[in-house]
Amino acid sequence: NAGVMQNPRHLVRRRGQEARLRCSPMKGHSHVYWYRQLPEEGLKFMVYLQKENIIDESGMPKERFSAEFPKEGPSILRIQQVVRGDSAAYFCASSNREGLGNEQYFGPGTRLTVT
């Protein structure tokens, strides 16, 4: 019974490079959420996707950030031209239903460091 998987666990990028973060939801889950966590802070919602659709991207910066959840394969959070302020832990969560009352299960996160 694999949980939510994320890779890589740690990612180091120089300013201006691209970062690609992957998330495989729990088996049977078709709803994926991405959150960002800064040190000493709680998690902040970024984007909610179902297979092939972005449902809510209200927490995603308008530029440089994009997310997808293709029909086959993991969900990808892509950050182009990274800056130092992008350094954070990025968590993916999945659930098996939408709307209120869904329980979201989190992966171990990807810790992005921009040098």
Contacting positions for other proteins (CB under 8 A): 4, 6, 31, 33, 35, 40-45, 48, 55-56, 58-59, 91, 93, 95, 98-109, 111
CB of 81 to other proteins, least distance (A): 25
How many residues in total does the chain contain? 115
- The minimum distance between CB 57 and other proteins, in angstroms, equals 10
Alpha carbon distance 106, 93 (integer Å): 4
In the complex with other proteins, the residue whose CB is nearer, 2 or 100, is 100
Q: Please, what is the minimum distance in Å from the beta carbon of residue 88 to other proteins?
A: 13
Structure tokens belonging to residue 73: 């394969």
Phi, psi values for residue 86, rounded to 5° = -80, -10
Q: Which is nearer to other proteins, 3 or 17 (by Cβ)?
A: 3
92: amino acid identity, one letter: C
Given the complex with other proteins, which of 54 and 76 has the nearer CB atom? 54
Please answer whether residues 7 and 22 qualify as being in contact, where contact means their C-beta atoms are separated by less than 8 angstroms: yes
How many Å apart are CA 102 and CA 79, to the nearest integer? 28
Token pair 């997808």 is found at 68
For other proteins, the closer of residues 72 and 85 by Cβ is 85
